Amino acid sequence: MLPLPPGLTAHHLEQRAEEARAVAAQMRDALAKRMMINLALSYERLAKHAADREEADKRNKDRAA
């Protein structure tokens, strides 16, 4: 697997999802709101993948030690 870019952590992506949900909650246009919610869901999926990757990297580091 490719390494995660610096600063792109599961925590960072989870924060982005929260921000997108907060923006969506303030939107009045139904289509724009739905798009923002979909963006939040995408950030959540990316956060899950990043968390899995961080855990795998940690396990590999522990094995090498």
Residue at 60 is within a domain: yes
- pTM across the whole model: 0.84
Residue at 48 is within a domain: yes
Residue at 31 is within a domain: yes
Range of the domain at 34: 10-64
Count of the separate structural domains present in the chain: 1
As a whole number, the mean pLDDT across the chain is: 92
Round to whole Å and give the CA distance between 30 and 46: 24
> pLDDT band at 48, cuts 50/70/90?
very high
Residue with tokens 């990043």: 50
Residue at 52 is within a domain: yes
> pLDDT band at 64, cuts 50/70/90?
confident
Higher pLDDT, residue 59 or 1: 59
Residue at 2 is within a domain: no
Residue at 5 is within a domain: no
Give mean pLDDT, residues 24-44: 98
